[in-house]
């Protein structure tokens, strides 16, 4: 459903209680879109990768329709990039006490965002953590270091069997294509390849990650840019990643 015709912001419930809020950024042609995900569990909300400064109003309005801000208990930051973190400036004006979950590596850097209040930070250790949601289901902060940030986490929602992968799985889809889910994986590969080759550091980081997540029961992969991959496409995505040469293994970046 398009919720803002001017910005093209679209919200979809991609699984029960899992909302994808997606905004195309027209300033950067080429189909770049930014996704935020809202998990609503027994009346409590967790917002994943809240987004850049300029998407705050659109994300906030959409979030409001699903849950009152008083019931958002956590903001999760998969890594330190501005398209993930810059809206914290605004979120902390609205919810100064909300827990902000991120890698311990980035705790000292996040303060440079000129936040309006001292944030209630929860620094994740490298090995990750699991928390229990009000329904009793678990939410796991899964290590995904160096993909692409050195302190990088994904989120696994046990109830919906959803893996939220931040920039991993990001795609540049054709402009105007706002459909939330991949329907032709073979064609979709071209939309992911360039980003993964340049923004991931090396094949070893990918191999270690795949060893960790292959045992999880995953029904869908939800990246922060582009489309969600569901069903058999999850395995296809992992297989594609395993075969792709990335970063230093793709090119000799000797200079
Ligand atoms: Fe990033
Ligand atoms: Fe990103």
* Ligand 2 centre distance from Cα of residue 245 (Å): 20
pLDDT bin (cut points 50, 70, 90) of residue 255 is low
Q: In the prediction, which pLDDT does 177 show?
A: 85
Q: Where are the domains of the chain?
A: 2-249
3-state per-residue secondary structure call for 153-201? EEEEECCCCEEEEECCCCCCCCCCCCCCECCCHHHHHHHHHHHHHHHCC
* Ligand 2 centre distance from Cα of residue 7 (Å): 18
Locate 129 and state its tokens.
Answer: 């953590």
Nearest ligand for residue 32 CA: 2
Report whether pLDDT(41) > 80: yes
Overall average pLDDT of the 51-77 stretch: 91
Q: In the prediction, which pLDDT does 27 show?
A: 67
Superfamily grouping for domain 2-249: Ribonuclease Z/Hydroxyacylglutathione hydrolase-like (3.60.15.10)
* Ligand 1 centre distance from Cα of residue 234 (Å): 21
* Cross-strand bridge partners of residue 156: 140, 163
Report how far apart, in Å, the C-alpha atoms of 114 and of each of 91, 110, 123, 217 are: 12, 9, 19, 40
Nearest ligand for residue 36 CA: 2
Q: In the prediction, which pLDDT does 54 show?
A: 84
* Ligand 2 centre distance from Cα of residue 232 (Å): 24
* Ligand 1 centre distance from Cα of residue 169 (Å): 11
* Ligand 2 centre distance from Cα of residue 173 (Å): 14
* Ligand 2 centre distance from Cα of residue 136 (Å): 30
pTM of the model: 0.95
């Amino acid at each position: 459903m398009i919720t803002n015709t001017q910005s093209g912001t679209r919200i979809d419930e991609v699984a029960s209680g899992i909302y994808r809020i997606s905004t195309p950024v027209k300033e950067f042609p080429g189909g770049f879109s930014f996704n935020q995900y809202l998990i609503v569990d027994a009346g409590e909300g967790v917002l994943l990768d809240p987004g850049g400064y300029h998407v705050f109003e659109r994300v906030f309005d959409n979030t409001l329709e699903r849950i009152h801000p008083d019931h958002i208990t956590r903001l999760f930051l998969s890594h330190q990039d501005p398209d993930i973190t810059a809206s914290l400036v605004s979120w902390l004006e609205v919810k100064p006490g909300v827990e902000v979950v991120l890698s311990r590596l980035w705790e000292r850097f996040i303060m440079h965002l000129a936040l309006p209040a001292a944030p209630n930070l929860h620094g994740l250790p490298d090995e990750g953590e699991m928390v229990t949601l009000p329904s009793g289901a678990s939410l796991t902060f899964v290590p995904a270091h160096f993909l692409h940030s050195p302190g990088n986490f994904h989120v696994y929602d046990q109830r919906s069997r959803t893996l939220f992968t931040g920039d991993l799985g990001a795609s540049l889809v054709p402009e105007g294509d706002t459909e939330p889910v991949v329907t032709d994986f073979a064609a979709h590969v071209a939309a992911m390849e360039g980003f993964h080759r340049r923004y991931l550091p090396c094949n070893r980081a990918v191999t270690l990650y795949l060893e960790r997540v292959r045992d999880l029961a995953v029904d869908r992969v939800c990246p922060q840019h582009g489309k969600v991959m569901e069903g058999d496409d999850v395995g296809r995505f992992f297989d594609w990643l395993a075969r792709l040469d990335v970063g230093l293994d793709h090119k000799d970046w000797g200079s």
